[in-house]
Structure 1
């Protein structure tokens, strides 16, 4: 399937992995795909999303409100309590990561079945089930539109078609109508497809 991806679409998949790591999330969710689409330099998806009024900084900020930083082993209250007795938790965590690696405090990933998109990732971050579904639906969208490639527009259409991930919640919470976004994306793909 990935051989059909355009360079821009591959960039979105790689960007989603980067976004998950930056946010210290132990998975790659639909929200990370959305962030990667919004930060892409080119592509139909970034154009459709920005024309709908979405921006990467706004989505990232909203996402950080909704999803806790799973990389933090202690709550804010516990961190504050340790600070009051003179323990610099950030320094301790930094030393642990320096000694044992950047994901030393992350919970071990769940075992997944082998297969397309279920292979053990090199960086320890796995695609969540919904993200895998979005990637599969992007292929179906490309076939429906009779395209012989998968571009960023197909990824966005797959995200909309999946309809239940956190990315869709972020989009709709921003006041964007999914049906209108679908129509705008399909219309935009005629101008330039990537």
Structure 2
């Protein structure tokens, strides 16, 4: 995997990566998969990524159950640091592409969510529960636009 600039990840996005490793270790998996990233995302309930799942009408308990069901059987004791499996590496790379596409400067939880939906390509825990990338992207864009409007309306300090 080419080196990613993890300094561009928000604090919450970095916490997702840490939680994904913890999920993989707890499951006895030797590498981090997209399902681990999804479970890590759920650990940040106040994040825009998780709020977007909720806005899409997908129950978080169902996402957790589907993400857990997507994990492979335990393969024995795994030791950190765990590598990212190829499709999880793709999620991280696509997170940066989402940042560029949306004109943002950082990788947030919302970018990881969009990348997860892209990697699922209609066949994964989120899409099986009815989450789709286009409505998720529209919601995220609207939230960012509203934030930009509020920020622009504030007088300079």
TM-score, normalization by structure 2: 0.76
Partners of 1:38 and 1:50 within 8 A in 2: no
Residues 12 and 33, structure 1, Cα contact 8 Å, conserved in 2 = yes
Instruction: Describe the shift of the 1:176–1:144 C-alpha distance in structure 2 as closer, same or farther (beyond 3 A).
Output: closer
Instruction: Name structure 2 gaps, 5 residues minimum.
Output: 149-157
Deviations 1:30-50, CA, capped at 9 Å, x for gaps: 111111112214321011012
Q: Name the counterpart of 1:99.
A: none
Matched, 1:151 2:121: no
Offset at residue 169 of structure 1 (A): 0.8
How many Å apart are 1:53 and its aligned residue?
3.3
Determine the C-alpha separation between the residues in 2 that align with 1:63 and 1:172: 11
TM-score, scaled to structure 1: 0.63
Q: Is the 8 A contact 2:95 2:112 kept in 1?
A: yes
1:176 and 2:128 matched: no
User: For 2:63, which of 59, 66, 69 is the aligned residue?
Assistant: 59
Question: 1:132 corresponds to which residue?
Answer: 89
1:68-79 alignment, distance < 5 Å: 68-71=72-75
1:161 aligns with 2:118: yes
Q: Do the aligned residues in 1 keep the contact of 2:39 with 2:68 (CA within 8 Å)?
A: no
C-alpha distance in structure 1 between counterparts of 2:83 and 2:11, whole Å: 21
Residues 1:65 and 1:13: Cα distance change in structure 2 (over 3 Å): closer
Matches within 5 A, 1:81-92: none
1:43 to 47, 51, 61: 47
Structure 1 portions without partners, runs of 5+: 73-102, 107-121
Q: CA deviation at 1:142?
A: 1.0
**Highest CA radius of gyration, 1 or 2?**
1
Contact 2:35 2:68 in 1 (8 A): no
In the comparison of the two structures, how many residue pairs are matched?
Answer: 144
Q: CA distance change for structure 1 residues 14 and 175 in 2, over 3 Å: closer, same or farther? A: same
Q: After TM superposition, which residue ranges in structure 1, 4 or more long, deviate above 6 angstroms? A: none
Whether 1:185 aligns to 2:132 is no
